Amino acid sequence: MGADLSRKRTIVLASGVFDLLHYGHIKFLEEAKKAGGENAELVVIVARDSTVQKTKGKPPIMGECQRAALVESLKVVDRAVLGYLSFNIGDVIEKLKPNVIALGYDQDDVMNEVRNCIRMKNLNIKIVKIDKFGEVAHYSSSKIKQKIADKSSN
C-alpha cells in the first residue's frame, strides 16, 4: 500500500556535498527519510561549489549541478535543491519548512547552527542525528579520493 497522499507529508531535510557518491551517502539518506515516518518527503540540499571552497578550502571534484542531479536520481530522494548562496541556515529553514532535519555524524558544526536557529525562532522542528554507516575507509569521499591519489602515484 502506498503512502496516503491526502495527508500532509512530513518534510525531512538533509544536506551535504555528495562529491563522489558512495554507499554511506545512500544509507544516510535512507535513515534520514525513515526519521520522517512512512509519509516522509526527503528534500536534500546539495552544497554549492562556492560553499565547499569556503568551508573545505578547495572546490569539489564534481560541479554543483552534476552533484544535485545525481542526488535527485536516487530512489530515496524526492527533491534535491542547491544550497543558498548566502548559506544562512535560518533562511533555508524558513523557505523549505521542514518538520525534521537530519544531520550526519560529521555535521556537528551544522548541528549547532541549526539548534541555535530553532531555539531563537522557537520553531517546532525535530533534529535527528544519523549514525555513521560501516567503515569510514569505504564510505568517505575523502578516503576514496585518497585511494585514487595513492594508486595514481604508485
Residues interacting with a second copy, by CB under 8 A?
20-23, 26, 58, 61-63, 66, 69-70, 73-76, 138, 144-149, 151-153
Question: 71: exposed, middle or buried (C-beta count within 10 Å: 0-12, 13-18, 19+)?
Answer: buried
Strands (E), 90-147: 100-103, 126-129
Q: Tell me which amino acid residue 17 is.
A: V
Count other Cβ atoms within 10 Å, centred on residue 29.
24
Least distance between a second copy and beta carbon 117 (Å): 31
Residue count of the chain = 154
Cβ-based nearer residue to a second copy, 44 or 144:
144
Least distance between a second copy and beta carbon 77 (Å): 8
Question: 121: exposed, middle or buried (C-beta count within 10 Å: 0-12, 13-18, 19+)?
Answer: exposed
Report the run of H or E that residue 45 belongs to, with start and end. Answer: strand 40-46
Least distance between a second copy and beta carbon 75 (Å): 5
Cβ-based nearer residue to a second copy, 94 or 135:
135
- Rounded CA gap, 112 and 107, in Å? 9
Cβ-based nearer residue to a second copy, 41 or 92:
41
Least distance between a second copy and beta carbon 125 (Å): 27
Least distance between a second copy and beta carbon 114 (Å): 26
The bridge status of strand 79-82 relative to strand 40-46 is: parallel
Cβ-based nearer residue to a second copy, 54 or 145:
145
Cβ-based nearer residue to a second copy, 122 or 153:
153
